[in-house]
Amino acid sequence: MDALTSLPAVGLARAIRERQASAADVVEAHLARIAEVNPPLNAVVELCDAARAQARAADEAIARGERLGPLHGMPFMVEDVIETAGVACAAGMPDRAGTVPRARRHGGCAVARCGWHPARQDQRADRRWRRRDHQSAPRPDQ
């Protein structure tokens, strides 16, 4: 496994920010890792063509002394449930349509779209009834 794909997010962001690694190299490492592990899993349903260009733009911004935000040059994947402009979406949730643009504004590089199974809908719905400390909150019907 490549060192760039095994670093925690905070360490990876620091490496990009401090020019110890380029965003382009980080994105390439993650795309290579996806190609390596995805075939038997089929977790990634689509790669984002713009990821490499986003990474190059992040590197150019760093060279100019600019910082795009806390996700500057960081690769991220998007669940197929989140609607994204210009990308087919199997189970779009319009209320989450701003998630990807917000991550991109903060410097993130969308590298892939992950599969989502409709059976998970119950898990998602149940989250709203949990408190921040992960203790179950009583449901209104109880």
- pLDDT, tens digit, 9 for 90 and up, residues 73-98: 999 888 765 555 555 554 555 656 66
Between 80 and 109, where is the model more confident? 109
Answer whether 0.85 is exceeded by the pTM. no
Would you say residue 139 lies in a domain? no
108, 12, 7, 106 alpha-carbon torsion, rounded to 10°: -20
Mean pLDDT in residue range 102-115: 82
Whether the per-residue pLDDT at 108 is higher than 60: the answer is: yes
Structural domain for 100, as ranges:
3-119
Question: Residue for token digits 């917000």?
Answer: 102
- Segment 2-60, tens digit of pLDDT: 889 999 999 999 999 999 999 999 999 999 999 999 999 888 988 888 899 999 999 99
Domain count within the chain? 1
Q: Decide if 81 contacts 123 (C-beta within 8 A).
A: no
Would you say residue 14 lies in a domain? yes
Whether the per-residue pLDDT at 142 is higher than 50: the answer is: no
Other CB atoms closer than 10 Å to residue 86's CB: what's the count? Answer: 7
Inter-axis angle of helices 9-17 and 23-41, to 10 degrees? 150
Would you say residue 81 lies in a domain? yes
* Confidence (pLDDT) at 95: 59
Instruction: Using alpha carbons only, give the angle 55, 59, 60 rounded to the nearest 5 degrees.
Output: 115
Question: Residue for token digits 């989250």?
Answer: 127
Would you say residue 51 lies in a domain? yes
Would you say residue 137 lies in a domain? no
